[in-house]
Amino acid sequence: MSMEPQQQFSHISKEKKWSPHGGRCLEDKADIVSHCATCQLWLCEDCAKIDHTGPSCMLIPQHETLLQMMQSSRTDAQNTCRSLQHFKREIVTYQEQLQSCKAIMESALDCIKKEEKRLEKVAEESTEAEANIRKIVEDKTHTDLPESLSVLQSLGMAMSQSQKWVKGVLSTLLDDKTHKLSKELLVTTVQLHLASAENRACREVLALHTINSSPVCSKIKTDGVRLFIHSLEYMTPPSGARGLQLDCVKKCMDKTSTLTFLDLTWGKSASGRVFIRLLGQISRAQNFLKMCTGENGPSFRGTRFHRMWWKGQPGEHIWAGDYDKGDGSGGILPSDLSEDNEKYPESCHKLPITAGLVAGTYVKQCNSSIFRIYTKESKDTMEDAAFGRVEFGLQVLDAAIKHNKITDITISDCGIIIEP
């Protein structure tokens, strides 16, 4: 039987040329004579003759290669130096800008202090004007017609002067500009602190507050544009962290359209964030906001969703926010929180039920932290306890309730957002 061609020559081995250093001439301290530009290897005479004789290899004498490398390095060094000089000019410009900003802020601070003193005087004048009008109204010593007409004339003049004075003072107030400035300063402060922090442990900005004489704080984080103020907790601030008073931070919110967030977790590792836009300054919205910050003690952090109504039907909604009982039977707000909100109306106008609408408990139960989120619309049905709307994250809710019991969904964190 004849052998296959492969079998006939399988016993013949190709001769392999022996290389003294195997491409490691420089490491082995051999006498280097050339450099292979293709293989990027420094070679001795023997290795060059044995391993680098093919057409793809390009051997260049050692001194020529070094000369080329030095020339290239000098060019790169000059370019790098020019880049560093440009960088240094940018740094100087930035330093000058910071100095200018500092000088303007110092001048602004002086103006703010003077404005505070002016407003103190304005407040005193307002109190005096009010007292004068009340005195005229409450004075019952006049009995005859001429005297009564004189009193009425004095009262009319006092009211007219007060209204004119108030209009003039209001025209000088710069509340919109100071609000915008405060927001810009807050965002800039956070960004400057993060940029100048000496190490990672110092890169913390905290909102500071006090609950029942005990200090608490919340982490302020940024996505580069917005600031996320997380719910307050009892913790020791890291060394080097920057602290800002929560009351000052909250002044930077848009009071008429505050954005809040709820972080949801379910299962072993699933999680997501739901953004809820509050619908103006109404009592339920204020309750929800303060439960997101936890500034009055309780917060939504660690609470669970406790029930779902009308599952799969129009008007489907889920209930949450019971911070003390967890089953919908609790959620009574602390007295100081409900007292703070007495100045706000109970609810906004009736709104049609759509997916994402957020409402509180029913109209006669405003003093509660419990809320509900509609996940399906209900045509021609109105909601009179609405206070917010899911702006983003309905898909998170859908994912959470799709394959889980409603009581398995936890609000792991919450807070408010300062927008640009």
CB 290 within 8 A of CB 298: no
Confidence (pLDDT) at 63: 94
Confidence (pLDDT) at 4: 45
Confidence (pLDDT) at 18: 67
SS3 sequence, 195-243?
Answer: HHCCCHHHCCEEEEEEECCEEEEEEEEECCCCEEEECCECCCCCCCCEE
Distance CA 142, CA 149 (A): 10
**Residue numbers of the chain with a pLDDT score lower than 50:** 1-16
**For 307-349, how does the pLDDT look when each residue is reduced to its tens digit (9 = 90+)?**
999 999 999 999 999 999 999 999 998 887 766 666 777 777 7
251: tokens are: 């002044």
**Distance between terminal CA atoms of the chain?**
88
Confidence (pLDDT) at 252: 95
Q: In which element (H, E) is residue 32 found? A: strand 32-36
**For 89-107, how does the pLDDT look when each residue is reduced to its tens digit (9 = 90+)?**
999 999 999 999 999 999 9
| Phi, psi at 144, each rounded to 5° | -90, 170
Confidence (pLDDT) at 53: 86
Q: In which element (H, E) is residue 124 found? A: helix 62-138
**Which amino acid makes up residue 42?**
W
321: tokens are: 């926010």
Confidence (pLDDT) at 344: 76
Confidence (pLDDT) at 364: 63
Distance CA 227, CA 184 (A): 11
Confidence (pLDDT) at 10: 41
Confidence (pLDDT) at 51: 86
DSSP state of 332: B
Q: In which element (H, E) is residue 260 found? A: strand 259-266
Confidence (pLDDT) at 417: 97
Ordered by where they begin, the domains of the chain are: 176-250 (no CATH), 259-418 (2.40.100.10)
